[in-house]
Every structure is written in structure tokens, then in C-alpha cells.
Amino acid sequence: MPIGSYASVPWVAQHLITHRPHRILDLGMGFGMYGAMVRQWLDLGVQPWKTFLVGVEGWVNYRNPVWDLYNVVYAELIQDFLKRESPPFDCVILGDVIEHLPKDEGRQLIVELQRLVSASGHLLIVTPAEFFEQGAVYGNALEVHRSHWQPEDFTDCGFQVPVSTDVVIACWTPPPASQGTQLSPSSASLTSHATPYEKLSGHVDTPFSPYAGR
């Protein structure tokens, strides 16, 4: 489904408000729930947006007006996005995505995403606490549930797991030894790679101008 669980909203919203990231990457954005949260509670619903927000979605049929809240949207698979050159992000969100991957692919994805997190940033992963069967809803093979992730799957990788009731929310921060090793990013770096969605919609802006399952 292109939406996630409402159970994740209070914690993620509080995390965003507390840490106030300037650059956010929303992977598997679906409807755009987390993007709407960013614009409402970080940018207070007023343009020009202060937060540089990038979305990635592999199923273009989920496109809707909420996508226009993002500075850049890449209508492609996460694996393809990761082939792009990108400066680090202050917050990387993988919301209701990892359960759609086999465990080995999910673990490898975590390693790749950790490289995208700025020295003082965070990687947030949200996934259902209980496994439930889900097929290719809406004709989208990406929607199939292929794995179940428990808190220890994340703590073994250095994550903290502050929520594990209706959903599991895992949060990773780079260890102190890695801080100060990354260059300051330019928010415009990604906007030079326009996708068909961006070209058609004119969407690229100047920077700073119970469970439904996914």
C-alpha cells in the first residue's frame, strides 16, 4: 500500500521536530506521508520551504498532489537511485519498505543507506511489528511482503529501537569515529539529474525556496 501505519506518526514527527534536519531523503515514499509531515511540522506549512526534501518511489502510479511537496522526486527503484552520486542527508527515512525485500537484500540495503547519512544525521526504518501476508496489490509486485523484521535484527546492526509495539521503529546514528569526515553538501547536487517525472511536471524547485502496510 502507498501508505504506512499511523502508529509511526507521533514518534517520527517528534524526532523530526527535535533534530530539525535540513536535508531529508524519503525512500519508497508511496503517497508521501512523511513528506507531508516534514512540510507541516518542520516548515510549518509556509513556503519557501526551509527543508530540502527528496523522494524516491518505484511505482509511478502512486503519483498524487502530495508529491509536489518534495523538492525532487525520483520515479525509480531505490537500487537505481543509490547508483547516483549524492551528498549525505541529515535524515534518511525507509518507511514500510524493508519488509518488501528478502532479509539478505534488506541487510545490504541498510549498509548502503548508512553511507548516505551525514555525520550527525539519522537513518530511520519503520516496519510492521507483526508479519502479515500481502501480495502484488494494485498490480504492483513491489508490494509483496517478503520478510519480517524484529527489533534484534536492527539492534544487531547498531540501531536503537525506541518503538516495537504496533510498528518497529529503528534509528541509527553514525558512530563518533565517523563524525567530521564528510564534506558539507550542496543541496543543488541532486537537482541536476532530472527524471521524466521532474521534466514533465516542472517539479524541481530551488533548494530552500490499525496498519495499512507498504
pLDDT, tens only, 53-63: 999 999 899 99
| Higher pLDDT pick, 23 / 2 | 23
Of 158, 71, 78, 86, nearest in space to 122 by CA = 158
Query: Tens digits of per-residue pLDDT, 125-145?
Result: 999 998 878 878 888 778 888
- Three-state DSSP at 2 gives coil
pLDDT of residue 40: 96
Q: Provide the total of helices (H) and of strands (E) in the chain, helices listed first.
A: 6, 7
- The torsion angles phi and psi of 202, rounded to 5 degrees, stand at 60, 40
Q: Are 169 and 161 in contact (CB under 8 A)?
A: yes
Answer whether residue 42 shows pLDDT above 90: yes
pLDDT digits (tens, 9 = 90+) for 160-214: 999 988 999 999 999 987 554 444 444 445 543 334 344 333 333 333 222 233 3
Number of other CB atoms surrounding residue 148 within 10 Å:
15
Rounded to the nearest angstrom, the gap between the alpha carbon of residue 185 and the centroid of all alpha carbons in its chain is 18
Q: Tell whether the model's pLDDT for residue 17 goes beyond 60.
A: yes
pLDDT of residue 179: 53
Provide the β-strand partners of residue 92.
25, 123
193 torsion bin: left (phi>0), alpha (psi -120 to 50), beta (else): beta
Q: Is the pLDDT confidence value at 112 over 80?
A: yes
Contact 41, 16 (CB under 8 A): yes
Phi, psi of 94 (to 5 degrees): -120, 85
Task: Indicate the pTM of the whole model.
Answer: 0.83
Query: In the prediction, which pLDDT does 198 show?
Result: 43
* Spatial separation of the C-alpha atoms in residues 88 and 178, rounded to whole Å: 13
Cα 71 to Cα 77: distance, rounded to the nearest angstrom: 18
C-alpha cell at 157: 546492526
In 115-211, alpha helices (H): 151-155, 196-201
Closest CA to 58 of 148, 144, 127, 186: 144
Domains by residue range for the chain, with CATH: 6-201 (3.40.50.150)
pLDDT above 90 (res 18): yes
